[in-house]
Amino acid sequence: LYNQPGIACSGSVIVVEGEKCADALINLGICATTAMNGANAPVDKTDWSPLCGKHVVIWPDQDTPGKGYADKVIKKLRTLELSSLTLLVIPEDKPEKWDAADAVAEGMDIPAFLQACTQVTIPLS
C-alpha cells in the first residue's frame, strides 16, 4: 500500500485509485492510500493489513474501471478487522473520470465534501 507511514499514524484512511489522487489528499493533510497500479491492481496480492483497525472510506473514480476497483477492494477489505468501511457515492453532476485529484484541483473543500456527500456503509464480515 502507498503511504504506509501516514496510515500508521491515522485512525481514518481514504482509499483512492492511483498515487495522483492519494498525493492530492495527502498534500491537504488527509490520510490516503492506493494499491500499486490503480484500477489494475492485483487486489488479492496486495497486503491490506495496515488498514486493520482503521476507519476506511473508498473514494472511487467516476468511471467503470473505478467502480470495478472499488468493488474488488470492498470485497477484500470486508475480510479484515476494520473499524468501519464506507463507499463514497460520487455526485451525479460530476463528469466521467472525475476523481479525488480533480476535486482538489477544483478547489473543493474536501473535509466539507466528505462530511456532506452520501456514503454507503459496507457491512464487515
Asked whether 104 and 25 are in contact (CB, 8 A), the reply is yes
User: Does 124 have pLDDT greater than 70?
Assistant: yes
Averaged confidence pLDDT in the chain: 94
Handedness of CA 33, 38, 39, 40 (dihedral sign): negative
User: Does 41 have pLDDT greater than 90?
Assistant: no
Judge if pTM exceeds 0.85.
yes
List, for residues 68-108, the tens digit of each pLDDT value. 999 999 999 999 999 999 999 999 999 999 999 999 999 99
Cα(19)–Cα(15) distance, integer angstroms: 10
